[in-house]
Amino acid sequence: MDEFAFIDAIKQHTYKQPSIIKGVGDDAAVFRQSAQDIVTAVDTFVEDVHFSRATMKPFHIGYRALAANTSDLSAMGAVPAFYLVSIVIPESWNEDELKGIYKGMAELGNTYKMDLIGGDTVSGKELSLSITVFGYVNRNKARYRNAAKPGDVVFTTGTLGDSAAGFFMLTNPGEYIDKAFYYRRHRMPSINADFASELEFLPRLALNDISDGLANEASEIAEASQVSLTVYEEQVPVSTHFGQFRDDQQFKWKMFGGEDFELIGTVPKKSWEDVKQIADLTQTQVTEIGHVENSDDSGSDVFLVDRGQTKKRLEKKGYTHLKQVKR
Amino acid sequence: MDEFAFIDAIKQHTYKQPSIIKGVGDDAAVFRQSAQDIVTAVDTFVEDVHFSRATMKPFHIGYRALAANTSDLSAMGAVPAFYLVSIVIPESWNEDELKGIYKGMAELGNTYKMDLIGGDTVSGKELSLSITVFGYVNRNKARYRNAAKPGDVVFTTGTLGDSAAGFFMLTNPGEYIDKAFYYRRHRMPSINADFASELEFLPRLALNDISDGLANEASEIAEASQVSLTVYEEQVPVSTHFGQFRDDQQFKWKMFGGEDFELIGTVPKKSWEDVKQIADLTQTQVTEIGHVENSDDSGSDVFLVDRGQTKKRLEKKGYTHLKQVKR
C-alpha cells in the first residue's frame, strides 16, 4: 500500500470548522481560536486490548474510538471541533479494512461537525489507533472533576451497563431481547456533546465521562473534589430489557462496565431543575442517582446504598487499561 | 505497575507555558491562545520499526521521538509549547525503562520550554509512542511547503547524513572517527526551533524538516509548490569527518538518510542575506545548496547536479514508514 495514496483516500477535501487554517498536507495543522479556551486529549486503542475484529467491523472500531475520545471533550463541557489520527498498521489489515476505520470516524465526525485535520500512518505488529481530539469551550467554563461540593446532586445521563451487555451478547451467542440495541450501544456509543455544552450557564458543575465504569468515575470526582459520593443502586438507570440478565451481571455491568460513554456529574441542588430542562431540550435522559457528602476521616470515597438499604463502600474495580506491566 | 502511580511519577508539577490552564489530571487539557495561531501534529514511533533498544537507551528513545515531532513545529516556523504522550506498553518493558523514555522527553522539553500536558498509557504487544505537539506562530506566519517560487535559493541547516552514519556505526561496530558526535546526532538530534521562528519577518519562505531524507523533502516542496528544485551535490553540507565513509554510503546517507531533523527551505534571492544573518544570530549553520526553477512538462521534480556536473532527476527514495501493508 502506498502511504500517500492512502492518505489521499481518507483525507477530507473541505473542512466544516472555520477555525482551521491548514488541515492535512503539510508538516502540521494550523488553527486559530481567539475567543474560546481550547480543550485537547489523546487516547490510544489497541487491537485485542480495547477492541476485537471478532465483535466489531472496522467501521465500528473507528466510530467507537473517536466517540470515546470525543466523550472526553463532553466531560469538559467543550464542543467538539477536530481530531488527529495516528495509526499503526500491521500486515494482517488490508486497505479496505483500514478505510473502514476512517469511515467510522468520519461518520461520528459528521454528526458532531468534527474535521480530520492531520495524522500519521506507520507500520507495526499490532493495529493501534491514537486519536487526539480538540474542542472549544467558553473562557473559564471548562468543567473539572474537582468541582463537587457536599450537598450536590449526583446524576448520570442515559442508561448504564448496555455496552458491557452488548459485548457479552456478541461473545456469548444466544437468544436475547433487543440485540440490535445492545450491539449498537457497544459498537456505536452516543456521546452527550450538546447536553454538556448547553449546561455552560450553570455556575458550578463537576463532570466526568463514564469510560471506566460508574464506580471508578465517581471515585475520580470524589478524590479530585475531596468529598464522598453516595449512590443509590436502585436509582442507577438501566435500559428497558436489562432485567433479562442475571442479577450479578446487571450489577457488574452497570457499576463497573464502563464504555457507555455516558456522563456523571454533580451540581448544587438549586441547579438540578436547570439540568433537567437542558436534558429535555437536548433529548438527553438524566437521572438523579445520589448526593455528595463531606469526606470522612478515611478519605474521599464512594458509597453504595444497595437494594436492601445497606450502605457500603464501593470499590473502584473499573476497567483499568494497564494491568500487565511488570514492575 | 499501577497506572496512576506511574502517571504521578512522570507528570510535571508546574508548567512553564502560561497559556496552559489545565494540564495532566482531568479528562482533557485546557489552554488559551488568543494572539497567535496554533500549530499541531502527531507522530507515532514503534519499537523495531522506528527505533531499537539495541542502539538506543530509553532516554534516547524519548528524546529523539519528541525531537522528531518538535521538528515538525520548526518546519512550520512555530515556537514549541507543549505535548501529549500516548504510550502502548508491552510486558517486556519495566517501569524504570518507561520512566527513562519520559526523562528523555523531559530533557528535550526543558531545552525548548515545552510542557507535558496530558496523555494516555495502555498495554499492548509492542512499545509505541504517539506524541502530539503544539506550538505557536504569529498570525498568518505559518510556513508552508507550497511557498517556493522559481528563482528562490534552496538552503539547508546543519550537516546531512550524520544520523544515518551514527546508526551505521552503532550497528556495525568498528574503528571510526568521532563516534560520540555521530551517536549523538542519531540519538539526540538537535532541532532548529529558534532559527525557524526568527525568520518570521521574511515575506516568503518555504520550509520542511528533513525527516525522510533530503531528496524526499525537496520533492515535497517541489510538488506542493509546482516547481522544480535543482540541488548541487558538492554543496550539500556534511560533517567534518564524513569522508571516512565509502562514497556510496556518503551519497545514500546525505541524500536519503533523513532523521537529522535539519531544515530545508527556499527563499527569494533578496532574502538570502537575511537568512544568513539569522543563522549567525541563532548559531545555526546554513548552506545554499541549489535553486528553484519552473517545473517542466513532466512535472515538479528534483534534479541533482553531481560532482561531474551532470544534471539528473533525483528519485525520492526517502525512507517511507509504511512499506509492508498489503493491498
Per-residue pLDDT reduced to its tens digit, B130-186: 999 999 999 999 999 999 999 999 999 999 999 999 999 999 999 999 999 999 999
With 90 as the cut, is the pLDDT of residue A8 above it? no
Nearest-CA distance B121 → chain A (Å): 7
Q: Which of A39-43, B1-5, B58-62, B302-306 is least confident? A: B1-5
- pLDDT (mean) for A168-175: 95
Please tell me if residue B281 touches chain A, with a CB cutoff of 8 Å.
no
Residues facing B29 on adjacent strands = A40
- pLDDT (mean) for A8-22: 93
Alpha-carbon span B1 to A111, nearest angstrom: 38
Q: What is the reported pLDDT for A195? A: 98
Predicted structure pTM score: 0.94
Q: Cell match 536519503: residue?
A: B256
Cβ–Cβ under 8 Å, residues B228 and B151:
no
Q: What is the reported pLDDT for A6? A: 87
Alpha-carbon span A181 to A183, nearest angstrom: 6
| A318: confidence class by pLDDT, cuts 50, 70, 90 | low
Please tell me if residue B183 touches chain A, with a CB cutoff of 8 Å.
no
Give residue-wise pLDDT tens across range B147-163: 999 999 999 999 999 99
Give residue-wise pLDDT tens across range A197-206: 999 999 999 9
Q: Which of A121-135, B281-295, B298-312 is least confident? A: B298-312
Nearest to B216 by CA among B181, B184, B174, B252: B252
B208 three-state secondary structure: strand
| B38: confidence class by pLDDT, cuts 50, 70, 90 | very high
| B7: confidence class by pLDDT, cuts 50, 70, 90 | confident
- pLDDT (mean) for A41-60: 95
Could you tell me which chain A residue has the CA closest to the CA of B73?
A28
Alpha-carbon span B256 to B185, nearest angstrom: 16
Question: B319 Cβ partners below 8 Å, 6+ apart?
Answer: B212, B213, B216, B256, B257, B258, B259
Which residue in the set A38, A95, A208 is minimally distant from B32, CB to CB? A38
In chain A, which residues have their Cβ closer than 8 Å to the Cβ of B10?
none
With 50 as the cut, is the pLDDT of residue A20 above it? yes
Q: Which carries the bigger pLDDT value, residue A297 or residue A166?
A: A166
Q: What is the reported pLDDT for A27? A: 93
Cβ–Cβ under 8 Å, residues A32 and B37:
yes
B-contacting residues of A 12-31, CB under 8 Å?
21-22, 25-31
In chain A, which residues have their Cβ closer than 8 Å to the Cβ of B130?
42, 44, 86, 120, 130
Locate B139 and state its grid cell.
498570525
User: Parallel, antiparallel, or unpaired: how do β-strands A227-232 and B227-232 relate?
Assistant: unpaired
In chain B, which residues have their Cβ closer than 8 Å to the Cβ of A28?
39-41, 72-73, 75-76, 78, 133, 135
Q: What is the reported pLDDT for B326? A: 35
Q: Which carries the bigger pLDDT value, residue A316 or residue A75?
A: A75
Q: What is the reported pLDDT for A90? A: 96
Q: Which ipTM was obtained for this model?
A: 0.93
Residue to substitute from B27, B144, B205, B209, interface A, most A β-carbons within 10 A: B27
Helix (H) or strand (E) holding A276: helix A272-281
Locate A224 and state its grid cell.
479530585
A-contacting residues of B 184-203, CB under 8 Å?
none
Helix (H) or strand (E) holding B81: strand B79-89
Q: What is the reported pLDDT for B327? A: 33
In chain B, which residues have their Cβ closer than 8 Å to the Cβ of A49?
122-124
Nearest-CA distance B133 → chain A (Å): 9
Query: Quick check: A132 and B84 CB within 8 A?
Result: yes
How far is CA B19 from each of CA B36, B90, B134, B147, rounded to the nearest angstrom?
11, 34, 11, 30
Query: Quick check: B224 and A26 CB within 8 A?
Result: yes
Cβ–Cβ under 8 Å, residues A40 and B120:
no
With 80 as the cut, is the pLDDT of residue A4 above it? no
Query: Quick check: A137 and B35 CB within 8 A?
Result: no
Please tell me if residue A246 touches chain B, with a CB cutoff of 8 Å.
no
Q: What is the reported pLDDT for A297? A: 73
Could you tell me which chain B residue has the CA closest to the CA of A47?
B124
User: Parallel, antiparallel, or unpaired: how do β-strands A206-209 and A286-294 relate?
Assistant: unpaired
Helix (H) or strand (E) holding A7: helix A3-10
Query: Quick check: B123 and A78 CB within 8 A?
Result: no
User: Parallel, antiparallel, or unpaired: how do β-strands B79-89 and B115-123 relate?
Assistant: parallel
Residues written for chain B: 327
Q: What is the reported pLDDT for A326? A: 35
Alpha-carbon span B302 to B291, nearest angstrom: 10
With 70 as the cut, is the pLDDT of residue B323 above it? no
Q: What is the reported pLDDT for B258? A: 86
In chain A, which residues have their Cβ closer than 8 Å to the Cβ of B321?
3, 121-123
Residue to substitute from A34, A42, A316, interface B, most B β-carbons within 10 A: A42
A-contacting residues of B 107-166, CB under 8 Å?
117-126, 128, 130, 132-135, 137, 139, 142, 144-146
Helix (H) or strand (E) holding B123: strand B115-123
Spacing of C-alpha A232 from chain mean position: 22
Query: Quick check: B326 and A95 CB within 8 A?
Result: yes
B212 three-state secondary structure: coil
Nearest to B162 by CA among B61, B253, B72, B234: B253
- Domains identified in chain A and CATH numbers: 3-137 (3.30.1330.10), 145-313 (3.90.650.10)
CB atoms within 10 A of CB A95: 16
Q: What is the reported pLDDT for B8? A: 86
In chain A, which residues have their Cβ closer than 8 Å to the Cβ of B86?
42-44, 130
Give residue-wise pLDDT tens across range A226-270: 999 999 999 999 999 999 999 999 999 999 998 999 999 999 999
Could you tell me which chain B residue has the CA closest to the CA of A263?
B27
Between vectors from CA B185 to CA B214 and to CA B212, what angle results, nearest 5°? 25
Locate A259 and state its grid cell.
464504555
Alpha-carbon span B3 to A320, nearest angstrom: 8
